[in-house]
Structure 1
Amino acid sequence: MTAQTPIDHIPFLKLLGVQQRESAPGTSLLSLPELREDLCNLLPAAHGGVLMTLLDVAMARAATSHPRAASSTVVTVEMSTRFVKPGRGPLTAEGRVLNAGGSLCTTEAHVRNTAGELVASAMGTFKYWRAPLGGVE
């Protein structure tokens, strides 16, 4: 497997303040240590788009870290998300591979608050990207 792009090299994730933690192959662990006001909705709690980003990236990082990953880059094919409760304070996202095939990978992820309570969860399918990066295909 080729090395993953460091998460701090992805401008959008850097803007949000997402950090990647050590995890076993086929899994991922991300944190959003500071839930800034500009990332919140009117409740105030984490905006749904922030939660979906954490879930999406956690699943993608799990897929690309899998020992049988066909590429170090994936694209989201589909994602099903469930919002359980408002996300407040620092948040953690964990992703894991359910099944990795030759071109597609099925994953799941959970976002939890500092008390360990489930905030949101998702399942997703990702396609391993084999074309050169930077161009439109």
Structure 2
Amino acid sequence: MADQMDRRNAYARVPFTRMMGVERAYSEGGRARLLIDARPELQNVIGAVHGGVILTMLDVVMASAAVSLVDFTKTAVTLNLNTSFLRPGLGRIVADGIALDTNDGVVSCAAEARDASGELVASALGSFRYLPLPPSEN
């Protein structure tokens, strides 16, 4: 069980997501949720969370949903990511992802990001390929 918990939090060992301060609320059964606070270094010129931060959250939350389907025994790399930005994201951003379908090692996912007021900030569709975990992660 400890090994599964370590694998479940593997994204937290990625320097980029660690630097961003991404928090995982859950990742199980093909669904995941991540959170991030709008610290000044993550904001754009108008004080909203930078679009690149939101895009990264959508990418990571979809990959987290995908690997939860295989009990975190594999990793998932992005093949395609299509994002629509709808409005500036203010305050804490919550990203929810879901794995929609798997076919021949490729997972199709969807995600949404909402701001502190619950407004939809961005949505995304992505496809991810399962790969073996690095030897240190097995």
Say whether the fold is shared (TM-score over 0.5).
yes
Q: Which letter does structure 1 place at the counterpart of 2:40?
A: E
Instruction: Name stretches of at least 5 consecutive residues in structure 2 with no aligned partner.
Output: none
Change (3 A) 1:132 1:68: closer
Q: Which 5+ residue runs of structure 1 have no aligned equivalent?
A: none
The corresponding residue for 1:55 is 58
Match of 1:13 among 17, 42, 57: 17
TM-score between both structures, scaled by the size of structure 1: 0.86
The alignment partner of 2:41 has SS state of helix
**Which residue matches 2:40?**
37
Q: CA deviation at 1:27?
A: 0.4
RMSD over aligned CA atoms reads 2.0
Which structure carries more helix by proportion? Answer: 2
1:133 deviates by 6.0
Identity of aligned residues (%): 37
**1:89 is matched with which residue: 63, 88, 91?**
91
Paired with 1:50 and 1:21, the residues of 2 have a C-alpha distance of 17
SS in 1 for 2:94: strand
* Alignment check: 8 A CA contact 1:68 1:100 kept: no
Structure with the largest fraction of strand:
2
Please tell me whether the aligned partners of residues 27 and 68 of structure 2 are also in contact (alpha carbons under 8 angstroms). no
Distance verdict in 2 for CA 1:68–1:99, change over 3 Å = farther
TM-score by length of 2: 0.86
Answer yes or no: is the 8 Å Cα contact 2:8–2:27 preserved in 1: no
| Alpha-carbon displacement from aligned partner over 1:75-112 (angstroms, at most 9, x marks no partner) | 10000000010001011000001102231000000000
Match of 1:99 in 2: 101
Deviations 1:36-94 (A, max 9, x none): 1111111121111101000000000000001487x520110000000010001011000
Alpha-carbon distance between aligned partners in 2 of 1:133 and 1:18, rounded to the nearest angstrom: 25
Partner amino acid for 2:114? Answer: R
Consecutive aligned runs of 4 or more in structure 1 exceeding 2 Å deviation: 2-5, 130-134
User: Number of residues paired by the alignment?
Assistant: 131
- Partner-residue secondary structure (3-state), 1:129: strand
Q: Deviations over 1:105-128 (max 9, x none)?
A: 000000001221100010000000
**How is 1:72-83 mapped onto 2 (pairs within 5 angstroms)?**
72-83=74-85
**Number of the residue aligned with 1:46:** 49
CA contact (8 A) 2:66 2:99 kept: yes
